[in-house]
Structure 1
């Protein structure tokens, strides 16, 4: 496991200057940033190192805390993947549990999942590595036309994980798709669980930016994952996922 602490407190050992600029026009929370790298030959100040060391040790211990067990390695790839199915399902289940509503579709972009989960012990650090960004849960309302556009986008890009849809595509085109086994209903309002980065048009999903927002939460994706994994563990369940044919592209 990569050292999560280094990501969190590395600025304490450098002269890096970090600037954050808010970038979410519709929904809050999202930020972009940059940094000015320090000269690698500059040595850390001994007094500062001594001051930070206790916090470093505490953080490393916390990140090593085991919160679950996985029956297999949950990995990423284009289109349908084990990790994508797992995260999309947890996001959907959490939203239904939290808001007492039925979520039709849940999606997560592959770029939002930055690391796989190993077989065996799953630590808090594993989840921070998987979801290092401050992405927040949002619930959007979609018409049948909006769902059609979403399916077309997914078939063309093949960079999304989904729960609640089954898509068959040829090349970059949708051949057919269903929502939870059913054809589209032109009179239905579909609820989509998604992160605010995508809801704000990230990853070229501009067609989402003007959709009605049912819920705009302050819940981080990684906090949701941690909570849901701990709940599974408390029930004696292990992490698992299957390739189910949610996305089939020729």
Structure 2
């Protein structure tokens, strides 16, 4: 009897193992989410204090813009681009200097990273989130003089208003390089330069591969958006200028 039961068990196991499972039908239903859906009052009551606090914080006036500033108000440099590269450099400098005892030579950001203009009038916290919605952090890459020349060549070839500070570039009418200066001096062969930028670009974003293998890299643990907010808080009226840092004659 035991042998018969054992044989039956083996037979059932083998039969089940050989049976192939397959999907015969998949069904789905579209559920539209819109304002017509009734709100859950208990959830609304729970999140209201947080929503009100966020709205209050986002509406705080931090500074003032004297004119409309956007990334297309100049050919090779723009008012908002100059502003961003200047404050990223100025806000990062004390942190970097305290850690390393060294100074920042150049700031380089990317034109596409500016996602909204700064309109004339009061600047609010929301403005910073509009201009810089990404979580990009600030890093300082130490570059060889060869890579700094590569940086300049990239900007000359791109013919685009990527924000820069500490670097002056002059082109002729045919977009050929006439002069490139770092803090008013020619690039010195054999010297290294400290370039403050975003972690996105340092990792090769926008094909800025000259940033990818620095001599040293200092991660500041400081987001560009937070640097922007801190800067806005520190000034009454932000500067809006084109100062000839990247020009075609």
Q: What TM bracket, shorter-length normalisation?
A: 0.7 to 0.9
Q: Secondary structure at the match of 2:50?
A: helix
Q: Does residue 43 in structure 1 map to residue 37 in structure 2?
A: yes
1:154, distance to aligned residue in structure 2 (A): 1.0
Q: Secondary structure at the match of 1:151?
A: helix
- Structure 1 segments unaligned to the other structure (5+ residues): 1-37
- Structure 2 segments unaligned to the other structure (5+ residues): 1-30
- The residue number in structure 2 matching 1:103 is 104
1:51, distance to aligned residue in structure 2 (A): 3.4
- Residues in 1 aligned to 2:136 and 2:188: alpha-carbon distance in whole angstroms: 30
- Residues in 1 aligned to 2:67 and 2:94: alpha-carbon distance in whole angstroms: 26
- The residue number in structure 1 matching 2:84 is 87
Query: 1:204 aligned to 202, 207, 215, which one?
Result: 207
Deviation per CA, 1:140-194: give whole Å up to 9, x if none.
1112111111011112221411001111235564332111221111132111010
Q: Is the 8 A contact 1:177 1:183 kept in 2?
A: yes
The count of corresponding residues between Structure 1 and Structure 2 is 209
Q: Is the 8 A contact 1:71 1:119 kept in 2?
A: yes
* Aligned 1:190-201 pairs, distance under 5 A: 190-201=193-204
RMSD: 2.0
Cα 1:95–1:45 change in 2 (3 A) is same
Q: Secondary structure at the match of 1:96?
A: helix
Q: Secondary structure at the match of 1:203?
A: helix
- Residues in 1 aligned to 2:145 and 2:210: alpha-carbon distance in whole angstroms: 13
Q: Is the 8 A contact 2:96 2:220 kept in 1?
A: no
Q: Secondary structure at the match of 1:241?
A: coil
Of the two, which has the highest radius of gyration? 2
Q: Is the 8 A contact 2:78 2:161 kept in 1?
A: no
Cα 1:44–1:178 change in 2 (3 A) is farther
Cα 1:44–1:213 change in 2 (3 A) is farther
- The residue number in structure 2 matching 1:149 is 150
- The residue number in structure 2 matching 1:12 is none
Q: Does residue 241 in structure 1 map to residue 235 in structure 2?
A: no
Q: Is the 8 A contact 2:144 2:215 kept in 1?
A: no
1:107, distance to aligned residue in structure 2 (A): 1.3
- Residues in 1 aligned to 2:122 and 2:83: alpha-carbon distance in whole angstroms: 16
Q: Does residue 185 in structure 1 map to residue 158 in structure 2?
A: no
1:197, distance to aligned residue in structure 2 (A): 0.3
TM-score normalized by structure 1?
0.76
Higher strand share: 1
Displaced runs of 4+ in structure 1, greater than 4 A? 170-173
Cα 1:102–1:51 change in 2 (3 A) is same
1:95, distance to aligned residue in structure 2 (A): 1.8
